[in-house]
Structure 1
Amino acid sequence: MTSRLTPTAYLDHIRSESARFRAVLAETDPTAPVPTAPDWTAADLLWHVAAEVQHFWTYVLETRPAAPTEETYDELERPKDATYQDLLAHFDELNARFIKTLEETGPEEPTWSWSKDQTAGFTYRRQAHEILIHRLDAELTAGAVTPLDPALAADGIDELLDVFYGGKPEWASFAGGEHYVRVDAIDTDTQTWVQLGLVSGTRPNGDRLEDEPDLSVVPHEEIPAGTEPDVVIEGTAADLNAWLWRRRDDEGIQVTGDKDVYDRFRALTNQPITDD
């Protein structure tokens, strides 16, 4: 079973992962391509994290609990004549403001998010994982990968499967089926149970979604007694997290069980993620 980190731990990770991200990119050719985002260079990655991610969530926290809109939130425009040193300075400024804003915001405070969790705690957790994965992007760009923190990576497995792939809008309903996949992080002794099923509902624009394949993370205590997973996926927390985020291959990850169920699971999880 996975356990959430404390808000203080998430904030510490945001600080340390941001520092590592910055240090790696400061020593990287700004034109170097990012292997995990082929259309980006190192300079694009640096701008993305500073201006498109951390600046945005700073605004969300500063204006809580109002939802950002096109009318209220002004996206930063990247200066056309900015040097790489200018972009690094932008990162320093925006990152410092983001961390300071988090420090001044209690995790329980009502705050907009795109998830069901409408507290600042969502931003603490989401942004710890966001900068962790983008730090890995920076290291892959530089060819200097270092280990991911096991506890944060284990929590990241749960967050990715539960919030991104398993999250449902209010208009959708999930009907769980009989098949389960269990993801085991062997170094942290944590497990995430995933139930395959179907989702239905009517979108706000009137379009109907009917019995589309989907998944949902199920708490251990809600698993029916005697249930055995159809598939078990095992690896270290760091390997599993990076693999699920499409940042590495499946070398060292062990899969046992029903191939059809595994293929259905991978069809639902092996796709790009765009939300920050």
Structure 2
Amino acid sequence: MPTCGDWTLKQLFRHVGRGNRWAAQIILERRNQPLDPRDVRDGKPPDDPDAAADWLYHGAELISDAIDRVGAETRVWTFVGPRPAGWWIRRRLHEATVHRADAALALGVPFELSPDLAADALSEWIDRVSVDRRHGPALERGQSIHLHATDPELGPTGEWMIVHDEEGLWWSHDHGKGSVALRGPAKDLLLATVRRISVADADIEVHGDTAVWDGWLERTPF
């Protein structure tokens, strides 16, 4: 697969389905520590294609069921510290969205995504990156990135200003001037930001210091 290293589609399928079960089990067990993926219950899809499809769909249902049982505000472990259990719905939705793009790119078929979903996926990813320090700060101090979606229906939610200043790394939906600016459809901005396509292969205009953008990509693996 061009965007997932040496994975096959079968491995990607298993990754998404097991990932949903992994999140559901974290919620259901009210865990305050990560769960080893090898300990996920029913973590492998059946060999039968129809049963495997049911297994995939059921994994998403398990997350909703787990949240209903423990309560959406119950705090559980996440990548970015304890969060309400309901946090996992948005995280897993956008995880599956990006991996659906991986599958489409591997198969050479169009990837369709509504601008509002693409914009929310981008906001969710930037929000996570801004508090996740596992790979160091995504920007050097004094650097900034401005993303501008050209989809007219998004309004203010179609702009992202990401800044690293004396207060740390933060972002907002404000309009501003960044060290580098990218302008294009929300779907393309999302795929470029999570390193599924390059800006050269997308409908994106780039202005400013491209080294800042390259540094961001190096420090923010999906």
Distance 1:246 1:173, change over 3 A: closer
AA in 1 matched with 2:10? A
Q: Which residue of 2 aligns with 1:246?
A: 195
**Partners in 1 of 2:76 and 2:45 — Cα distance?**
33
DSSP-derived class of the 1:255 partner: strand
AA in 2 matched with 1:132? T
Q: Which residue of 2 aligns with 1:49?
A: 16
Distance 1:153 1:267, change over 3 A: same
Q: Which has the higher contact order (CA 8 A, sep 6+)?
A: 1
**Partners in 2 of 1:45 and 1:174 — Cα distance?**
26
**Partners in 1 of 2:115 and 2:207 — Cα distance?**
23
Q: Is it true that 1:110 corresponds to 2:75 in the alignment?
A: yes
Q: Which has the larger radius of gyration?
A: 1
Greater helix fraction, Structure 1 or Structure 2: 2
1:9-35 C-alpha deviation (Å, 9 max, x unpaired): xxxxxxxxxxxxxxxxxxxxxxxxx33
**Offset of residue 242 of structure 1:** 1.0
Q: Is it true that 1:194 corresponds to 2:201 in the alignment?
A: no
**Partners in 2 of 1:254 and 1:162 — Cα distance?**
23
Greater strand fraction, Structure 1 or Structure 2: 1
Given that residues 46 and 88 in structure 1 are in contact (C-alpha distance below 8 angstroms), is that contact kept between their aligned partners in structure 2? no
AA in 2 matched with 1:149? S
TM-score, normalization by structure 2 = 0.78
Given that residues 137 and 169 in structure 2 are in contact (C-alpha distance below 8 angstroms), is that contact kept between their aligned partners in structure 1? no
DSSP-derived class of the 2:215 partner: helix
**Offset of residue 62 of structure 1:** 0.4
> 1:210-249, aligned counterparts within 5 Å?
216-219=169-172, 228-249=177-198
DSSP-derived class of the 2:111 partner: coil
**Offset of residue 167 of structure 1:** 2.0
Q: Which residue of 2 aligns with 1:66?
A: 32
**Partners in 1 of 2:142 and 2:8 — Cα distance?**
44
**Partners in 2 of 1:101 and 1:144 — Cα distance?**
34
Q: Which residue of 1 aligns with 2:206?
A: 255
> 1:152-167, aligned counterparts within 5 Å?
152-164=117-129, 166-167=130-131
DSSP-derived class of the 2:40 partner: coil
**Offset of residue 58 of structure 1:** 0.7
DSSP-derived class of the 2:7 partner: strand
After superposing on structure 2, the runs of 4+ consecutive aligned residues of structure 1 that deviate more than 6 Å are: 77-81, 172-176
Q: Which residue of 2 aligns with 1:183?
A: 147
| Residue from 206, 214, 218 that aligns with 1:266 | 214
Given that residues 184 and 204 in structure 2 are in contact (C-alpha distance below 8 angstroms), is that contact kept between their aligned partners in structure 1? yes
Q: Which residue of 2 aligns with 1:95?
A: 60
**Partners in 2 of 1:137 and 1:228 — Cα distance?**
32
Unaligned runs of 5+ in 2: none
1:158-204 C-alpha deviation (Å, 9 max, x unpaired): 2222312x22459x899973332211112123211112469xxxxxx
Distance 1:113 1:143, change over 3 A: same
- The size of the alignment, in residue pairs, is 215
TM-score, normalization by structure 1 = 0.64
**Partners in 2 of 1:59 and 1:89 — Cα distance?**
18
**Partners in 2 of 1:92 and 1:191 — Cα distance?**
33
